[in-house]
Structure formats: structure tokens, C-alpha cells
Homo-oligomer: A and B are copies of this chain.
Amino acid sequence: MTRVYGDPDAFAIEALAGFAAAYAEHVRLVPGGVVRATPGAAGKVSVVVGGGSGHYPAFAGYVGYGLADAAVAGDVFASPSSQTIVDVARAADRGGGVVLGFGNYAGDLLNFGLAAKHLNDDGVRAATIAVTDDVASAGPDDRASRRGVAGDLVVFKVAGAAAEQGLTFDDVVEIAGLANDRTRTFGVAFSGCTLPGKSTPLFSLDPGRMGLGLGIHGEPGISEREVVPADELADLLVELLVAEAPAGSGGRVAAILNGLGGTKYEELFVLWHHLGQRFARYGLDVVAPAVGELVTSLDMAGCSLTLAWLDDELELLWTAAADAPAFMRGPARPTGHGHGGEQPQQSAPAGGASDAALAPSPIDAVNVGQADPRSRRAAEYVLVGAVAVAEALERDEDELGALDAIAGDGDHGQGMRRGAASGRDEAIRLVDAGAGASTVLRGVGRAWGARAGGTSGALWGAMLSAAADALSDDDAPDARVVADAVAAACDALIEHGGASVGDKTIVDAIVPFSERLRSRIDEGAALAEAWSDAARSAQTAADRTANLRPKRGRARPLGERSLGHPDPGATSFATVVATITPLLAG
């Protein structure tokens, strides 16, 4: 959905003007396009690229040293007119002639073709390069008919570097043609895009479906299927492109993993991680990959993989320095979007990052030491409780997440589930190792704090560790010791959390729980009975907290609870203690 615009008819030109303003040191605005703010050397061949708008960074984002000399911008998804192309090309010409680069679409073929004719008639040497990398748009027997998509960038980068290095007009045209012959792209789409001023997308896909080879303007693809997991998507993309490898090409490839606009960076990186594990398998050495949004289609969701099989000259030009707003490479070491190192072997292994690198932080091992048999029996109660709590929090994950989403970031259920599961696993390990109750509970706390993350992870880690310090490995805890442990957890929570009763946090539940537990035990009640009463008090407090209307006003130090919305901490605490109740009765 496109939402930020004024006059829809002015969208493309206003976007171009705003771009030129943001990158004033890179580009200068001219009617219908942008040219380099600092022109290239006199006499050099100029590379002028373009097409419709709505594909940023294609095409204006490519204008800069080592890449394009100018970009022509048509209206959204519409080719610029031949006259506009001629005007921009004249502004970019340094006396060495103009190479016009664009994707192979009808309007662009016509208008850039007419422009080249006009320029040549007027004595400005001009040639066109129509990029044809989209393998989905025509068969291998008819590559000249294919559409141009993300492969534009490979061809433009090679042509731009060649022109920067002073190659002749004919040589720039020839090497750009070679780059196009060696470049293949295949893409998938998950959703359509919406033109400025329109309320419905240009095309659409059913939820959970993806279009294979769908064009960046919604042109028909080759098929449609269910969305697949990232590893299967990686298989699909690599296999399709490897099958299209140019005859007699080696294993060194330039690669672009392109996001179409609605597919986010992290998704692309997840896919790149899975792709990296496959490149090596197919004998591909990836050189200076580009992972990001490089040829978009407004807010269209989808991505494409581009591979360009390199020879020595193409590799030199692909990795050469560039300094455009959306594509930068340092001279010494490639940097910026599209960066990945001149040593391609750096990326394939890293792509398949070692398990060690992917493992979470280790938990500081607790020292099991010697434990009295009575404490070891108590430790088994701790283990049974840890198992039950992990079960309960897995059951309630979505409910707690939904409660959290009202005012927070919706991750509370996930964090509690992960923390409890880690605590359970550590409890199992420690009980098997013969640890006492204090040690096992300390281990549960450390595992919970280390693995859960978020607010609750830190708080539960601190609470459980404080409770563990109140227990001992030398004897079985009696009811008073349990009450002391709960009180210690309560104090630790208040110390770390900075909240008080009434702030609608976990404090609202643990304080009445601790007080009720203490008073019933002081009255001589058995632990099971006292705990049961206290758990009910916690539940009552949690329900009251959850139902409190948000009070207007300032955000509190617990920033995610801003504007006084209740957080789910009281509810999850009540769930945990209620889960323990029947175990004590048994």
C-alpha cells in the first residue's frame, strides 16, 4: 500500500526531487532525471540508465562514481519519453558518447531506441543495452525476449566501471553485452503492489501462495504454489539458476539477493544464510554479493536471486570501486550494499555459519558440589515443578503474547516459554548430576535469565537466583524456608524491576503472594495449604491488574508499559505459582 504522497500524478517527480535533495552531494536534478553532481572525466563514455519510477534504488540510486553518469525517471512503472531521455543524456554526455541501459520492456525499448536514434542524428554517439536476465519470462532459446529485473544492476555496474576506467565506446558496449549474456535472475512474489492514489493492488496473490517468476509489475509468472520455508526457497532459486549457467562458465559468480520492497532485510538475511550453505554444494564461489533492496517494485513482497557468471575482466569490473547513493564499494575493500569481499570464499562459508557461531551463549555452569540426600529429594520437587511450569507456559504462550501485545511488543509469552524450557533442561541436568535443591534452583534461574531474553527473562533469572540463595544443599527446606525464598525473590524483583505495587506489573501479584504465604505459615498452615491460598491471592491480584483501565499520563521507567497499560507479568506469575500448588499437595 502506498500511503505517503500528494498529487499522485506528481509522485514520481516529487520522489526524484526529494531524492536529489537527500543526496545533494551525489546528484544534481535535471528535468526528468538526475546527473552526477561531480561529472566524470571529459571524454569518458557516459552510462545513462533508466526506466519507470517505483523501483528505487533503480535507477536514480545508481548514479555516482564507478556506476551510472545519469538516470532518467519515467512516471511510476512507465517508461520515460524519448525526449526526456535525450535531454538527460545530453546533460550527462562528456563527449565520449552515451550508452543507454534499461530493462527489456516494450516502452523502454521504444523510447530509449528512439532517443538513441535522435542522439546519433544529432551527432552524439549513442547505443542501447536492454537487460534480459529474467529466466522466467522466456525460454533459454529466446533469451533476447526476456525481461530485465535485478540483473540490471550487474550490467550497469560492469558498464559503469568500464566507462570509469576509460574503455572506448565500443568496448563499454561489448563488455556490457557480455555481462548481460552471463546474468540470470529468478524471483518469487508473495503480494502485489499498490500504485500511488490507488486503493487496490495492481495484482494480488492468495495468502500463503507465492508466484514463481512473476514480473516486477505483476506480469505473468510461470506458476504459483504454497509459500515454502526459507531452506526450500533457497533450493528452488539456486537450482533454477544453476540449470541456466552459461556454457563453459566457471564457478565464480556475482550474486544479488534482491528484496522487491515488502520483504524485509532480516528475511533476506535468513534466506542468504540458507543460500550460503548451498552455493558451496553447487561449486559456486560468490564474489562481492549484494543483499538488500536493489530493484524494487513499490511495496511488492517478494525476492529474487541473480547470478552472473564472471570471467576475470567481469570480476574486476563487478568488484571495482563505486560511490552511488544506493551502491558503494570502497577502492581498497568493497563496502556498502553489494559488499561481501573480494575473497568470495569468505562469504560461502560464512553463509553457512558454523553451528558454534549460531549457538546461544553458554550458561555459566553451576558447581554441583556435595548435597545432602534430603536436599537432593527436595531438588526433585524443584525439577517436577520446573517441568510443570515449562508445560504450563508453553500452553499459555499465545495467550500471554496477546495480553502483552496490548501495550508491549507481544514477546512475553515467547520469552516465558523459552526461559522455562531452558530452566527445565538445566534442572534435569543438575538433578542427574546429584545437585541439591539450592543448586538446582540456581541453575534454573541462570538458564532462564540467559536464554529467555527480554524483561521477564532478566527478572525471573534474578528472582529464582535470589530464592536459590535462601535454600541450602544441606537439608530439606521447611515451609518457613520456602516463605523466606519467596520473600527473597520478591525483594530481588523490586530491586531490579524498579516497579511498585499498583504499577500493573508482576509486582502486583508477587507481593500479595509472598505476604499471604508468610502469614498462613506463621498461622501454622501446611506448605501445600498456605501455597494454595497464596496462589489464589496472586490470581486475584493478577486479574485485577489485567482489568485495570489504562490511566493516561507519562510513560514509566518500564518504557514498554507506557501510558499505564497493564503488563502480563502478574498473570504469568499467577500461572506459575498455581502450577506448583497441586505438586505440593501430592
Contacting residues of chain A (534-568) with chain B, CB-CB under 8 angstroms? 550, 554-563, 565
- Chain B residues near A195 (CB, 8 Å)? 410-411
Q: Are A357 and B452 in contact (CB under 8 A)?
A: no
A409 at interface (Cβ–Cβ under 8 A)? yes
Q: Are A107 and B22 in contact (CB under 8 A)?
A: no
The listed residue (B139, B210, B559) touching A147 by CB distance below 8 A is: B559
Contact A14:B230 (CB < 8 A) given known A137-B555, A147-B562, A562-B219: yes
Interface size of A by CB at 8 A reads 166
Q: Are B562 and A458 in contact (CB under 8 A)?
A: no
A184 at interface (Cβ–Cβ under 8 A)? no
Closest 6 A/B residue pairs (Cβ): A217-B409, A18-B273, A18-B269, A4-B267, A21-B350, A17-B353
Chain B residue with minimal CB distance to A141? B554
Contacting residues of chain A (98-135) with chain B, CB-CB under 8 angstroms? 104-107, 109-111, 114
0/1 per residue, A343-354, Cβ < 8 Å to B?
000111011110
The listed residue (B6, B61, B111, B407) touching A219 by CB distance below 8 A is: B407
Min CB gap A339→B, angstroms: 6
For the complex, what is the distance from the CA of A107 to the CA of B267, rounded to whole Å? 24
For the complex, what is the distance from the CA of A464 to the CA of B273, rounded to whole Å? 54
For the complex, what is the distance from the CA of A137 to the CA of B561, rounded to whole Å? 10
The listed residue (B227, B411, B556) touching A78 by CB distance below 8 A is: B411
A436 at interface (Cβ–Cβ under 8 A)? no
Min CB gap A203→B, angstroms: 6
For the complex, what is the distance from the CA of A550 to the CA of B221, rounded to whole Å? 13
A31 at interface (Cβ–Cβ under 8 A)? yes
- Chain B residues near A409 (CB, 8 Å)? 52, 77-78, 202, 217-219
Count the copies: 2
Chain B residue with minimal CB distance to A499? B106
Min CB gap A363→B, angstroms: 8
Q: Are A269 and B19 in contact (CB under 8 A)?
A: yes
A261 at interface (Cβ–Cβ under 8 A)? yes
0/1 per residue, A130-155, Cβ < 8 Å to B?
00000001110110011100000000
A330 at interface (Cβ–Cβ under 8 A)? yes
Contacting residues of chain A (69-116) with chain B, CB-CB under 8 angstroms? 74-84, 87, 104-107, 109-111, 114
Contacting residues of chain A (234-278) with chain B, CB-CB under 8 angstroms? 257, 261-274, 276
Query: Which secondary structure dominates where chain A touches chain B?
Result: mixed
0/1 per residue, A403-425, Cβ < 8 Å to B?
00101111100110010000000
Q: Are A411 and B75 in contact (CB under 8 A)?
A: yes
Contact A109:B230 (CB < 8 A) given known A31-B361, A353-B17: no
Which of A26, A220, A266 has the most chain B CB atoms closer than 10 A to its own CB? Answer: A266
A23 at interface (Cβ–Cβ under 8 A)? yes
The listed residue (B24, B114, B408) touching A458 by CB distance below 8 A is: B114
- Chain B residues near A334 (CB, 8 Å)? 25
Contact A53:B266 (CB < 8 A) given known A137-B562, A273-B15, A361-B87: yes
Q: Are A559 and B31 in contact (CB under 8 A)?
A: no
Contact A220:B31 (CB < 8 A) given known A82-B449, A146-B555: no
Q: Are B271 and A18 in contact (CB under 8 A)?
A: yes
Given A4-B230, A138-B555, 13 more contacts at CB 8 Å? A4-B271, A14-B273, A15-B265, A21-B272, A21-B347, A31-B357, A78-B409, A80-B453, A106-B557, A106-B560, A106-B561, A145-B559, A325-B337
